[in-house]
Amino acid sequence: MQIVNMLNFGPLQYMDVDHVQRFIHGEVAAQRMPDSLIVWESQDTYTAGRRTNDADIPDTSIPVIRMDRGGSVTYHGPGQLVVYPVVKVRPPKDVVTFVRNTELAIMDAMKEFGLQTYQVEGRSGVWILQPGQKDRKLCAIGIKFADDATMHGLALNVTTNLDLFMKVIPCGLQDAGVASLESLGITTTLADVASVLLPHLAAAYQPLLLRPTQELTTANSEEILATIRNNSAPKFINDVTGTMWEPKGSRPQA
């Protein structure tokens, strides 16, 4: 398994990294590239999943991008560690097990920071549960399978500006809040969290992989970016993926 570490580039445009993900996904699905963990930080962006309604969209100058994932609208931005596991899974594919393994890996990593986190029945992600307070999501998870390989992944709030979550109902959960490591009194960096988290994720995925391996290497991110620049833009499953959100009433009827 290889790490594609893009943190050194600073906050990146969401769709630029989505193109990287889709290129790597095609290579992994065809078994031309090792299973990969893409690690990066986003510029301010809201993404709208398939269950998003017009009422969910915030009044904001921040881009709102339609994506081919489940769920509603959520925020990505500086201070948030995003990891896309792009791996070829063995049959039968099981998205629930993959998400649960991801949650457990994150929870084990958080213990190394002295933080107890939880799973919540019926809800994906990793949570902070404290008496007298709303459940707060520390890490959002959204996984998609295509061609027996995974896409999208997790977003862990490290030093994220949580006020920008308040402009939306994160992941459509009206009775829950959000948390970051910083808001919980933990001072750290995205790079430090990544160095702890990635080995836990790699180990958690091994039983699910078509090509399991204990080796964890670092890919040349610059070389991968150069390869992508020399290839055409990725094909999306539908023609609205990657486009800016428009109110449904403003789009021509098919």
SS3 helix, strand, coil % of the chain, rounded to 5?
30, 25, 45
Q: Annotated catalytic, 139?
A: no
Q: Is 218 annotated as a binding residue?
A: no
The token duo for 23 is 């290129």
Q: Is 74 annotated as a binding residue?
A: yes
Q: Is 152 annotated as a binding residue?
A: no
Q: Is 200 annotated as a binding residue?
A: no
Say if CB 102 and CB 126 are below 8 A apart: no
Q: Is 125 annotated as a binding residue?
A: no
Q: Is 156 annotated as a binding residue?
A: no
Q: Is 155 annotated as a binding residue?
A: yes
Q: Where are the alpha helices (DSSP H) in the chain?
A: 14-29, 95-111, 190-205, 221-229
Say if CB 204 and CB 30 are below 8 A apart: no
Q: Is 232 annotated as a binding residue?
A: no
Q: Which of 38, 171, 202, 208 is flagged as catalytic?
A: 171
Helices 190-205 and 95-111 pack at an angle, to 10 degrees, of 130
Phi, psi of 231 (to 5 degrees): -115, 160
Binding residues for substrate: 69-76, 140-142, 153-155
Q: What positions carry a catalytic annotation?
A: 171
Q: Which residues are annotated as a binding site?
A: 69-76, 140-142, 153-155
